[in-house]
Structure formats: structure tokens, C-alpha cells
Amino acid sequence: MVFCCFKTQADVELLIVGGDQQPVQFVALPFEYFGIGFSPAVTVENHIVQALSSTGLFSMPFRYEQPQDLSNMLAWQLAGIRYVLQGEIHEVKQTLTLKLTISDTLGLQPTLSAVILNPEQLEL
């Protein structure tokens, strides 16, 4: 992750946030499930956390203090968290759709993504 800090002069200073020496902290809040039967939410959360953590660039703290208002990005930032992941899983006619929201605690617009999941790959 690279940020540009512009000075009044013409040169550009790069500020690198995170990396293999200091991974960026994120949390995955419990995903909501809308469907019939067994909820795959925990399995999907675990896959995402494992994939992000395995890069070495991101890590989810073992313990963290959750703000009373989960949408308060400043409170998450003060707790040392950079990204907050929230998800909804919708099951319609045996099709699982994940709607993922990735909120940046620095106040940027959240990233929204929707993907169709393959239930056979989730090992439910």
C-alpha cells in the first residue's frame, strides 16, 4: 500500500504503510447469512482471513477492542485497525452470493464487491 505526500516543492515523498515488517491490521466482522439451512458465513470469513493473512502484508489481531458503534471508523482507527470487512451472504436457489464491504478507517469511500461463491469449494 503506497500513499503520496505532496510538499509545496516539486518532489514527491512516498509513505509506505504496512509491509512484511509491519502488517496492516484488519478485522472481519461476523458475516450475515440470508438463506435456508446451514450458514457458510464462518467458513467464508475464515477463507478471507486466511488468504489476507497469508500474504504477510495484512494481519488480524488476536484481540482487539470493538467500538460500540461498528460504523465509527475513527474508533477503529484509534484501536489500530486500518480495514474493517463486513459481509452478507445471500442464498437463492442454491447459489451463494457474497456482498463484501471493505471500509478504510482513514475515511476513504468503502470498497463494495459482490461475488458468486462455489459451495463445493467452501468445504462446508
Q: How many domains does the chain have?
A: 1
- Residue 106, in any domain of the structure: yes
Q: What is the pLDDT of residues 61-88, one digit of tens each?
A: 888 888 999 999 999 999 999 999 999 9
Q: Locate cell 470493538: which residue?
A: 66
- For the cut 50, the answer to whether the pLDDT of residue 4 exceeds it is no
85 contacts 100 by C-beta, under 8 angstroms: yes
Residue 58 falls in which region: left (phi positive, over 0), alpha (psi -120 to 50) or beta: beta
Q: What is the tens place of the pLDDT at every residue in 45-68?
A: 999 999 999 988 999 888 888 899
Residue 94 vs residue 1, higher pLDDT: 94
Residue ranges with strand state E in the chain: 2-6, 12-16, 24-28, 32-34, 58-59, 83-92, 95-104, 111-117
* Cα–Cα distance measured from residue 45 to residue 60, given in angstroms and rounded to the nearest whole number: 12
pLDDT at site 65: 83
**Residue-number span of the structural domain to which 98 is assigned:** 20-122
Q: Does the residue 8 lie in any domain?
A: no
| pLDDT at 37 (0 to 100) | 84
Q: What is the pLDDT of residue 32?
A: 97
Residue at 99 is within a domain: yes
Q: Which residues of 78-90 are buried (b: 16+ CB within 10 A; e: fewer)?
A: eeebbbbbbbebe
Determine the pLDDT at residue 97.
Answer: 95
Total Cβ atoms within 10 A of residue 102: 15
What pLDDT band is residue 15 in, cutting at 50, 70 and 90?
Answer: very low
Is 74 part of a structural domain of the chain?
A: yes
pLDDT of residue 2: 46
| CATH number, position 46 | 3.40.50.10070
* CA-based torsion, 54, 56, 60, 64: positive or negative: positive
Which alpha helices (DSSP H) does the chain contain, by range? 41-54, 73-78
The verdict on residue 4 lying in a domain is no
Closest CA to 19 of 51, 53, 63, 56: 56
Instruction: Inform me whether the pLDDT recorded for 108 exceeds 70.
Output: yes
Q: How confident is the model at residue 1 (pLDDT cuts 50, 70, 90)?
A: very low
| Residue 14, in any domain of the structure | no
